[in-house]
Structure 1
């Protein structure tokens, strides 16, 4: 594609088609909601939950989930954490278990391949803690293969080295109902009597605690392992009255955070654990709390004609805010009207009354954020709030969002951590030693500041008029500059990975007046993006880039969303009139489908690095449109300057 492609019919047609696709996907009330897909773990756990509770299975639904699980099985025989990724033991064990529970014969070719692959990787004994808990509930493993988490930890004072306020919101909502399950140790009903003995290299009864995970410090891990031994040895000494009080406290916590039909924490693992907890406590299916918790799970199901799966959560606020930005970039009257309708849908979802768990560290800060989901008042997130505020600011003059913007900005500022950056849901959630406890083999127990969220907050502040002299702006700018990698990139926590982080950082630094033409630091980042550009003109990166021994970008096939991030980052750095940018634009135009969006089977988002990855189906709708429209707009205007935070 020639550098003057901005005036070409191909570019304009691509923008028009993508705009129409996004307009067609808008719901009547103004919002967008796209599917949010994870690996095999969540749909497999859904099947196993039904059989744990001895609910009457929906045979047609189970058959569709089985079709889905078979389709995403990897060529290696197991199940990966992201598209075309390596086998993951825990995901593979759960998927195999679910298929066997549904009724797939163990001598079926796909089951045989899965079993052989799992055994070749050491067998089910290599499963992570949460999989081990599931297997213990089913009686496959002994509870001695699961780290001790005494329920009395809910009573610990805030100054104690471990306290629930010191772990992330997702860990808190997942763990609290698990504490009750670990105390009562109910046995899954399992009406079909399905077992997994064939997945163990040695008898399952011999499986003990796992070794430390690669991210864990050996010395800390040994300390916590000794603590685990002491807890087991003294467990019988715990006074019954204290244990009962702790149990009541745990139940009170989850009951107060129930969150209606949006579910505890509005995330699947917490919802499922809650339902199992209510069942263990003897709540019948019709009990109001258990019933509403169970309905929340079914809202996550995606059921098609031929297959089905369960989502980890819903993403309407995130999808709506990002779709609005893309449409505002597109700029047609219809696109602007749709963006306004999206903002009007978002307006009443701002959380202005509930002081969520974050307020434990910021008691003097007024609520004012938005959650990721339809409702999650205890856990608004900074990232969504910043993106919503920026969209509303871009609509100034069309509608009055002054109050919403002011309260959102106020809340975001109040959530800034002492080191200058922002975590996603809570400030100062940085007690790194806790990731060394045996229970934290996933390495995602905390919610520390990250580059991508911090960059989004800086983008918001500068778009709203804050200068580099503003103390909050100066602190986060320093945070970003000191967290740049030697090769010029930035790490991305919530999107894959260095492309995502670099896009966010370049947008933010543009807001404080730093661009590639005046800063060697930004020039290095631009050079890095061009160095990793694929031969087809696009950009790609997968979950392997999160490996602990990172030595540079892990090449992966191009995707539309990651190509868009790279282009948006380059344009924010002032790089527009470059043939390599034009090649990226050409890649997007060439790969757009007839429906106006892009086919993107690969995962480009991150739940927890090295553990849990996501495929936002909306990313292939709004991000490429955003990049194409911005390129067109900058070329039309003859400018290199991006005026908005994102």
Structure 2
């Protein structure tokens, strides 16, 4: 017999079987201490960036790991020849450029069919000069394009007062944690070690060294675009005139900001982009791989890897709080004494992870509010998420 719920025909027996199977799957995936954490797969950019980070630093080649990362990147290549931001999604220029670069870096021939398809897809859409700003910074660090292709990002931003139109505390936490070490890199302008000397000039319709700032995108407001483009032009002229002492103060402020939030092997912001930028920042500052903040952060990046028998990829972060909370909610909906007992174990795991002591960056705007949120990851006390 069929029952109706909101106009949808439902077979109660089939529904009960589905719920039972789903519940068994969730209970089977539970960690030994009562919480849940599932793999957090993003798009191809993070595993591609992981490969490029290793070659940026000239780390010893791990052929077995690179082979598995390569298998993953080839599998998620889209039918359009490039790489999407979601499964079976449309072509994305930045994801495609990074994925092609990473595959070429690990030894894929530019004449291999999948590389030819990717190159044709990129060139037919205007070439790699259509990459987004973060990809342009990566390409500048590799010397593929010049720093004229990136916006001026003066490290002196770290010294601006709170009342200024732009302040580091007026942008989102993921952007803040990513930008602070990136601003140090932009100030020092280091070059990737890149021992193989791999480049991707073939992905450009023009000489990549001639690439300048990107034109206005259709979705951008003309007034805001030209305001920031004018500001960038002014900064490009006056930035070289900034006193060296001011620059050093700003770099010191960026380091102090970073080191207060390093967060052990969980990493600053507990997300991949700032962690990778921090490792490159310390490299640019002359700190070797044994320098504790760099070494700890680098180990944290490897903890984001998901390595299988044939494939591997790098997660942008982990999500145990999110996963456990949602799973406990689902188990309570499913019901049953044993199921509810397991859900309670998960909730018991969540309770002590509430951030009750440390006032994170949010306290700048709400100094009288006591802490009380949860982070998305295992540890990220400076940045609890509102939706957790």
Could you state the TM-score of these two structures normalised by the residue count of structure 2? 0.97
Match of 1:254 in 2: 258
Query: Do structure 1's residue 199 and structure 2's residue 203 form an aligned pair?
Result: yes
1:209 paired residue number: 213
Deviation track 1:225-282 (CA, whole Å, cap 9, x = no partner) reads 1111111111221011111000000011011010111111011111101110011111
Tell me the SS of whatever aligns to 1:147: coil
The answer as to whether partners of 2:2 and 2:12 remain within 8 angstroms in 1 is no
Give the Å deviation of 1:347.
1.1
Moved over 6 A (4+): 4-7
C-alpha distance after superposition, 1:208-231 (max 9, x if no partner): 000123332111211111111111
Matched, 1:2 2:2: yes
Asked if residue 235 in structure 1 is aligned to residue 211 in structure 2, the reply is no
- The whole-number CA distance in structure 2 between the counterparts of 1:37 and 1:307 is 13
Larger radius of gyration: 1
**Which of the numbers 38, 50, 55 marks the counterpart of 1:51?**
55
Query: How far apart, in 1, do the equivalents of 2:132 and 2:353 lie?
Result: 36
**Unpaired segments of 5 or more residues in structure 1?**
385-646
The answer to whether structure 1 residue 282 and structure 2 residue 291 are counterparts is: no
Corresponding residue of 2:303: 299
Q: Which residue of structure 2 lines up, in the alignment, with residue 99 of structure 1?
A: 103
User: Partner of 1:114 in structure 2?
Assistant: 118
Give CA-to-partner distance per residue, 1:268-317, whole Å, 9 cap, x none: 11110111001111111011100111011111100000000001110000
Question: Pairwise mapping of residues 546-565 of structure 1 onto structure 2 (< 5 A)?
Answer: none
Pair 1:83-2:87 in alignment: yes
Q: Secondary structure at the match of 2:387?
A: helix
**Aligned positions of 1:106-185 closer than 5 A:** 106-185=110-189
Tell me how many residue pairs correspond in the alignment. Answer: 384
Q: 1:42, 1:171 → 2: CA distance?
A: 16
Distance in 1, Cα, partners of 2:362 & 2:117: 46
Name the structure, 1 or 2, with higher relative contact order (CA <8 Å, separation 6+). 2
Question: Which residue of 1 is the match for residue 20 of structure 2?
Answer: 16
1:3 is displaced (CA, Å) by 1.4
Matched, 1:349 2:353: yes
Q: Secondary structure of the residue that 1:309 maps to in structure 2?
A: strand
Aligned counterparts of 1:154 and 1:126: Cα–Cα separation in 2: 29
Q: Report Cα offsets for 1:356-408 as digits up to 9, x if no partner.
A: 00101110000011000000000001111xxxxxxxxxxxxxxxxxxxxxxxx
Q: Distance in 2 between matches of 1:216 and 1:8?
A: 50
Q: CA deviation at 1:6?
A: 6.6
Tell me what 1:607 maps to.
none
How far is the alpha carbon of 1:334 from its aligned partner?
1.3
Of 26, 33, 38 in structure 2, the residue corresponding to residue 29 of structure 1 is 33
1: distance between equivalents of 2:358 and 2:371? 7
SS class of match (1:352): coil
Cα separation, 2, equivalents of 1:105 and 1:288: 38
